[in-house]
Amino acid sequence: MNSKSPILPAVIAASLVLALLAGCGKKAEDKQAAIAGASIKADVVTVQKAVLPIVATSPASVVAGQQAQIASRLMGYIREMNVEEGQAVVAGQRLFTVDPTDIQGQMNMARAGLAQSEAALADAKIDHERFGALYKEEAIAKMQWDKIRLQYQVSQQQAAAARAAFDTAAAQMKYATVQAPFAGVITQKMANAGDLAAPGRPVLLLENPASLQVRTGVTREVFSQLKLGDAVSIQVEGQAGDLVGKVAHLVPAADPVTHSYLVKIDLPVGHGLRSGNFVRVAFPLGSREGIRIPVSALLERAGISGVFVVDAQGIARYRMVRAGAATGGNVEIQAGLNPGERVVTSATTNMQSGDKVVSQGNGNG
């Protein structure tokens, strides 16, 4: 007779089965709890179709509408430089002085020539009057009188030429001091005192900050749709809102290298820009149909732009989207969403896919 009872192994086996079933049940409950996710209160909007503007964006620069390269009309060394870069000047203010030694010598020679010719003219005039009286009395021959008259005419012409030479030298003397042609700011200095100035070689660059414009090149397609006075948006890096400018000038000739057309745009009052600033100009070219959502709905996870889409059961799922331009608190969605879908617009910082969203509001995107 076997001393071991057959009941004990059966009891042990049953205990193991019950323990295994209990463990499996707990894992299933944990898995179900994980699937259920957290419950988060958030704002939700429904995506709808919208009329979106068609915009062509072009890089542009801020330049002065009134600017001048200041050069000397004389050849000579710069004796004195009276301004610095960034200095504001008024019209007629002295900018620099060229050494007038050579011009002074020419002026002295012209003055001496003028004095000599005027003395000769005075002598010829006396002869003309005296011999004229003798000719009337028929005391001299006509040939002699004609010679005196010719001499007087030559003296008059020589005196006039000497006067013109002196006036020219005097005018050149005035060019030794170069003055500002208009009020503005010295934006660049290309020479200093002691440098040689020459006609056609710029010494200073003067700009009028009150006449700043935005200039950009556009394609033929964009150019053909622009008109004088059209309002355009000017986007400034680091500035929240756009500036609104007006098309001031359209140059109909294309650049032979870039094949673009020059457009000049007037800036609004109080724009705060400076010459040389880089901006972007947005030209409106019409409208199209698309979708957009509040900017607050768009976020980035692991370098991927996306939104949380809420399904019919209220469960949020993260979905990758391709975003377009953002304007007025909304952003265009070019791909990844369809009209009628609902997206979360708040409380997305710690939200995860699978969380249940308790909607606090329901609006239109």
The CATH number assigned to the domain holding 302 equals 2.40.420.20
Question: Are 131 and 253 in the same domain?
Answer: no
Question: Are 249 and 201 in the same domain?
Answer: no
Q: How many domains in the chain?
A: 4
**Is residue 249 in a domain?**
yes
**Is residue 29 in a domain?**
no
Run of H or E residues at 163: helix 142-174
The β-bridge partners of 105 are none
**Is residue 24 in a domain?**
no
Last residue of one domain, picked from the residues 266, 288, 310: 288
Q: What is the C-alpha separation between 283 and 263, in angstroms, rounded?
A: 11
Task: Please list, in sequence order, all residues whose beta carbon lies within 8 angstroms of the beta carbon of residue 195, skipping any fewer than 6 positions away.
Answer: 77, 78
Q: What is the C-alpha separation between 176 and 73, in angstroms, rounded?
A: 8
Question: Are 74 and 189 in the same domain?
Answer: yes
User: What confidence score (pLDDT) does residue 172 get?
Assistant: 75
| Structural domain harbouring 301 | 36-51+289-364
pLDDT tens digit at each of 365 positions of the chain? 444 444 444 444 445 444 444 444 444 444 443 445 688 888 899 998 888 888 899 999 999 888 899 999 888 899 999 999 989 999 999 999 998 877 777 778 888 888 988 898 898 899 888 888 888 888 888 898 889 889 989 989 998 998 888 888 777 778 889 999 999 999 999 999 999 999 889 999 999 988 899 999 999 999 999 999 999 999 998 887 889 999 999 999 999 999 999 999 999 988 888 888 999 999 988 888 899 999 988 998 888 899 999 998 999 999 999 998 887 788 999 999 999 999 999 888 889 899 999 887 656 55
Give residue 243's identity as a one-letter amino acid code: L
Q: What is the C-alpha separation between 51 and 116, in angstroms, rounded?
A: 87
Give residue 68's identity as a one-letter amino acid code: A
Domain containing residue 76: CATH number: 2.40.50.100
